[in-house]
Structure 1
Amino acid sequence: MKPVGMIAKAASVIGIGQTDWPGDHARVRAAQKPHDSYGYAAQAFVGALADAGISRDQIDGLIVGPTTAYERVGELLGLDVRWGGQADAMLGVMEACMAIASGQAEVVALVYGNDQRSALVNYGGADAQGGGAFLSYVYHAPWGFTSQGALYALMARRYMEERGMSQAELGEVAVAQRMAAARNPAALMRKPITIDDYLASPFICEPLHIFDYCLINDGGVALIVAEAGKAERIGRAPVPIHGIARHDLNRGATSLEPRLTDYYQPAQKTVGEAVFNMASLGPQDMDALQIYDSFSLHIPLALEGYGYCKPGEAGKFMREHGISLARGLPVNTGGGHLSESYMQGWNHQIEAVRQVRGEAGERQVPDCRHVHYSSDVAGKAVSIIYGR
């Protein structure tokens, strides 16, 4: 078995693709059904192939998002691969790197499609879809606790009381990400907002306002990841994956205890040490940060958990240092889940690649060399560093 460090720079992203999120959204809102999850996945895959400049028969690995079946996607895309499976975005990237480092595959397609809005998927409420095994808060449904919004509202209230973050400071997240989305033609919500707009917006589950919640929309995303040496030979603009790590907090997970007491920050600290050591880099070397943001609260928690600021100082950091393209550390430069598109972490990966390539247009971070991605979904803390 190869040491974990052997996956550092073992693979590079050579292709990215996505569907027309604004167009998809407009058609669905007009009561049309352009595609199911498989159709969106196929569209994104075609785009990623074109971006990479390779043919379909060069792919020997396939990972599909949890919204589609692995065998069916392979069948529809005409792929007979020697290795593959199903995973979310962050674990998919990790598994692709591990497969490549261990010789199981050389070129892996990661494909995601979701018709969550047109299919009327419910992520909260008494009939929440996804099951208690993943959405552990539903175990508390008999007591009226039936949504992720309620969970993050509870976390936010405790965090605000314990560490002193104000409503206006949390609002910095939504304002910064809307600023980024305003510069992104692929984003759904492009109208800028101010802190006053945020504070005047309705609560959905206090203390969370409507701008603290992610979007729900249809769409697809795809990446093609190749062995580093092969990526240099066949890829148009390879982006090496410098480091990747994971740490889970399972003890007490179904009681929600890890989220509500330590905000998952012990897992982030452990993962941060591993991924930064693997990449021989640190927080000070990151030019941009992409954070899984089903709710705005993810951002201050990650800033503290990965050492971008001290515990208890995220509110002050966002207010004084800044997390926008205009000042400070740019966070979720495409607009994130709050304003760009809710692609369950997949859109963050392709935004990181675009930033490192220097292809982000008006939202480009100057001389962007390294981008850090963070996710803490359902107790799995995962961290990825993309770089030149």
Structure 2
Amino acid sequence: MTTSRQAYKVDREHPGSDIAGETAAAMAAASMVFRESNPHYAHLLLHHAQQLFEFADKYRGKYDSSIAEVKSYYASVSGYKDELLWAALWLHRATGSAEYLDYVVDKADCFGGTGWAITEFSWDVKYAGVQILAARLLLRGEHAPHHRNTLEQYKAKAEHYVCACLGRNGAGGADANVERSPGGMLYIRQWNNMQYVTNAAFLLSAYSDYLAEAGVRAVSCAGGETVAADEVFALARVQVDYVLGTNPRGISYLVGYGAKYPNRVHHRAASIVPYKHSKEFIGCTQGFDHWFGRRSSNPNVLVGAIVGGPDRRDRFRDNRENYMQTEACTYNTAPMVGMFAKLNRMARQEREQGSTTPVTSTAAEV
């Protein structure tokens, strides 16, 4: 590897509340996963999550203001306030400490948590996730009486996102709902649209679980329409199946799955001959000059990657140079892992119970 892999940092003089807050949220969530199997590691994760949150909140600033090099690639468009709310909610869930919920309630308005009516969820924009996590607390009754009014505002915004995906918001203008492709894919924007599809599937699935646990049978959409809670999970399943090949082109956008999937993924290691087949030195320049422009399929199949996916008309061009559609990103695949786990569990439970209404989703087979 001859390309520079310089490491960067954030500190008191060069803050990065968004990246520190996101890391705190991830560590807090992970601590719950390892709580039983590895208590020591779980404790370490939670301890560092709390430290990072304190640092992120005390020394506020966007990471792309401190590290100018990232602005052209991963700009923090939404700022850092959504990540601070996101971290506080995960820390509350991991610790049960009221101070974190107080933070989310106290900062709800000034940090935009109850102000932004959002139609997307991504690595940058966390508001929809914040609103759904806050709504969960309301639905489960896990709050003090003085939190209720603010949590109801969070829930209203959470259901705006859900209804936007369903296309059922009757108020708010043309931007109140998410566009759909002719084949049924949720469409937000041209570059790597699949990240919004997989994230929406995960959030919709999670919210449908929260509704079911609370015995709530309907969602209230802007404009007065109510939507059956069953429709929320149904849409999540449709999006998963679209990714896996139930789409007009019959392509699985999960590389390595199905009979037809992208063969020219925009990924350096996948597109260059493996070392075991050629011991020739391949630097950054050689990789681009000798391999990037080849029309043949990648010599290495990037199994498990989800590419950027098709455009608003379900059109897809399998070409390395078409990076907006063929680039593979971890934040595309990550939420799908959760969806696959859920659908697989549902299918297994139905087999064990001898259900007459089996899960029909393609995802149950993954």
TM-score class, shorter: under 0.3
| Structure richer in strand, relative to its length | 1
TM-score normalised by the chain length of structure 2: 0.27
Structure number with the higher helix fraction is: 2
Higher relative contact order (CA 8 A, sep 6+): 1
Structure with larger Rg: 2
